[in-house]
């Protein structure tokens, strides 16, 4: 049961059965309390019930450490004292059952602690007889911009920041995007409607609004074949992926060129070309090299690469490379069997073969580049929405109706020039087009 996912409280419902159950839970809890403040529990209860019901699986994990539900130390925005109180009371009255105790890190074989596993009780399921997915909507209070600290705790955003133009524009852009997607009849590969929560995007920052800021939604966790199996009003989907965006931005902004030049790179200007390590696929090199850009020191980069493993993904028909943290169980083949020494050799080989990128390795520039690519994708959304074209971004990839390919190519070109100004106004940008059949072709757009 190690793959049981965590309960996320991100939806809401005004359905009569949800409202009735919420009232019953609150009345039952307050009957034992000397102070009664029913209103502060009303919306959290409806959100909790709707989120429990919407899950595909009965079983779920949920952490109940009280320190994670305070005003200052919250792992997620919905982790409030009211939510924890309601969750614990639903356990007490038999709406939620515990399936398996939590596992402290000290006694876990892999050293990774796990929260307890729970399930919806039969009583819970039988009480909500007429509720449907159409009755459940994204949480209206869910913030569309999120900031976390270095330890991944949620930070309250000051009111002054919320009034700044960039913040207001981001919120309005994402809301307009959601409104358009709601009218686009997006369906999964099995023909069922995609729930709005799956395409409700949140812009997530870490430590600072000057770094990161990528867009995340349930859709960004889909496998490639799942992403391209969807339809928009019955029309098949395809995707365009700027597969080497970060190295390209370094070259354009720092050197004023759109591809590498020099003794080695003139013949093969692919920034992920590493012939010294032929046993590794290009897709693996992409993960490793971007990890080097993200790392803030040579030591942290070598440690990351030393914990890199790869295996063949039969679903996407490509290699999947994972950089593990902590003592989590490793799966697949180790990228560098020679451990840290071989990882350091890889870094030096990259710097030698790609001199125009060498100065940015182990500088942490990857976090700034994520901010740049998120600005770019936000502009792509803004233009596409204004044209009535539904798109679903996955970092530097966009999924859209395939009959809109020409329009989306133009949107990507204009957004690139708009976002990066002089650095985006020359040369070409290279993209990978993947159709619903999973056939792939290269596309070059003149800037």
User: pLDDT for 368-403, tens place per residue?
Assistant: 999 999 999 999 999 999 999 999 999 999 999 999
Asked if 376 and 420 touch (Cβ cutoff 8 Å), the reply is: yes
Asked if 331 and 311 touch (Cβ cutoff 8 Å), the reply is: yes
Higher pLDDT, 377 or 109: 377
- Asked if residue 274 has pLDDT above 70, the reply is yes
The pLDDT value recorded for residue 285 is 97
The pLDDT value recorded for residue 3 is 73
Look-up of token digits 């000290």? 106
Highest mean pLDDT among 69-73, 86-90, 328-332: 86-90
The pLDDT value recorded for residue 105 is 62
Structure token digits, residue 383 = 């233009």
Confidence of residue 56 (pLDDT cuts 50, 70, 90): confident
Calculate what percentage of the chain has a pLDDT beyond 70: 96
Task: Give the mean pLDDT of 182-202.
Answer: 96
What span, in angstroms and rounded, lies between the C-alpha atoms of 185 and 307? 42
Confidence of residue 292 (pLDDT cuts 50, 70, 90): very high
What span, in angstroms and rounded, lies between the C-alpha atoms of 139 and 117? 24
Residue 214 forms beta bridges with which residues? Answer: 204
Please state which of the ranges 25-29, 101-105, 343-347 shows the lowest mean pLDDT: 101-105
The pLDDT value recorded for residue 262 is 73
- The secondary structure of residue 94, as a DSSP letter, is T
Q: Where are the domains of the chain?
A: 11-138, 145-243+367-446
Q: Identify the CA nearest to 431 among candidates 220, 147, 240, 248.
A: 240
Tens of pLDDT, residue by residue over 164-179, are 999 999 999 999 999 9
Confidence of residue 315 (pLDDT cuts 50, 70, 90): confident
Confidence of residue 326 (pLDDT cuts 50, 70, 90): confident
- Asked if residue 16 has pLDDT above 70, the reply is yes
Instruction: Region of 198 please: left (phi>0), alpha (psi -120 to 50) or beta.
Output: alpha
Q: Cβ contacts of residue 417 below 8 Å, gap of 6+?
A: 424, 425, 447
Task: Give the mean pLDDT of 45-61.
Answer: 95
The pLDDT value recorded for residue 437 is 92
Query: What is the torsional sign of CA 201, 205, 206, 212?
Result: positive
- Asked if residue 268 has pLDDT above 90, the reply is no
What span, in angstroms and rounded, lies between the C-alpha atoms of 59 and 43? 23
Task: Give the mean pLDDT of 271-289.
Answer: 94
- Asked if residue 266 has pLDDT above 60, the reply is no
Q: Could you write out the DSSP letters of every residue in 267-310?
A: T---TT--GGGTTS-HHHHHHHHHHHHH-SSHHHHHHHHHTEEE
Confidence of residue 111 (pLDDT cuts 50, 70, 90): low
Q: Could you write out the DSSP letters of every residue in 163-229?
A: TSHHHHHHHHHHHHHHHHHHTS-EE-TTSPBPPGGGG--EEEEES-TTS--EEE-GGGGS-HHHHTT
Task: Give the mean pLDDT of 346-364.
Answer: 95
End-to-end CA separation in angstroms for the chain = 50
Please give the mean pLDDT across all residues of the chain: 93
Query: What is the torsional sign of CA 113, 94, 31, 41?
Result: positive
What span, in angstroms and rounded, lies between the C-alpha atoms of 290 and 296? 12
């Amino acid at each position: 049961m190690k793959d049981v996912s965590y309960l996320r409280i991100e939806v809401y419902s005004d359905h009569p059965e949800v409202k009735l159950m919420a009232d019953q839970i609150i009345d039952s809890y307050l009957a034992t309390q000397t102070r009664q403040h029913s209103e502060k529990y009303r919306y959290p209860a409806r959100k909790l019930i709707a989120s429990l019901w919407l899950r595909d699986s009965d079983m779920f994990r949920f952490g109940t450490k009280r320190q994670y539900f305070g005003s200052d130390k919250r792992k997620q925005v919905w982790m409030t004292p009211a939510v924890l109180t309601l969750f614990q009371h639903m356990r007490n009255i038999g709406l939620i059952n515990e399936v398996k105790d939590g596992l402290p890190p000290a006694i876990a074989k892999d050293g990774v602690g796990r929260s307890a596993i729970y399930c919806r009780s039969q009583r819970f399921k039988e009480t909500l007889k007429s509720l449907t997915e159409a009755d459940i909507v994204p949480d209206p209070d869910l913030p569309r911009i999120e900031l976390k600290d270095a330890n991944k705790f949620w930070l309250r955003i000051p009111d002054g920041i919320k009034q700044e133009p960039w913040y207001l524009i981001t919120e309005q852009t994402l809301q307009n995007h959601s409104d358009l997607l709601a009218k686009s009849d997006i369906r999964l590969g099995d023909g069922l409607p995609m729930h709005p929560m799956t395409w409700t995007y949140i812009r997530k920052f870490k430590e600072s609004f000057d770094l990161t800021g990528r867009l995340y939604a349930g859709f960004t966790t889909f496998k490639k074949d799942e992403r391209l199996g969807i339809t928009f009003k019955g029309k098949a989907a395809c995707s365009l992926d700027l597969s080497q965006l970060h190295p390209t931005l370094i070259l354009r902004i720092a050197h004023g060129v759109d591809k590498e030049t020099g003794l080695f790179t003139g013949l093969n200007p692919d920034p992920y070309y590493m012939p010294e390590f032929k046993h590794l696929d290009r897709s693996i090199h992409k993960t490793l090299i971007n990890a080097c850009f993200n790392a803030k020191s040579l030591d942290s980069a070598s440690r990351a690469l030393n914990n890199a493993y790869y295996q063949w993904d039969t679903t996407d028909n490509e290699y999947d490379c994972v950089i593990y943290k902590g003592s989590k169980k490793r799966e697949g083949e180790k990228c560098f069997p020679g451990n840290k020494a071989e990882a350091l050799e890889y870094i030096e080989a990259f710097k030698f073969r790609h001199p125009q990128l060498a100065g940015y390795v182990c500088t942490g520039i990857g976090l700034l580049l994520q901010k740049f690519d998120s600005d770019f994708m936000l502009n792509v959304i803004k233009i596409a929405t204004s044209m009535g074209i539904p798109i679903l971004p996955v970092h530097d990839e966009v999924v859209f109706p395939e009959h809109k390919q020409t329009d989306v190519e133009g949107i990507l070109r204009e957004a690139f020039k708009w976002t990066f100004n002089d650095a985006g106004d020359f040369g070409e940008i290279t993209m990978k087009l993947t159709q619903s059949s999973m056939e792939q072709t290269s596309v070059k757009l003149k800037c």
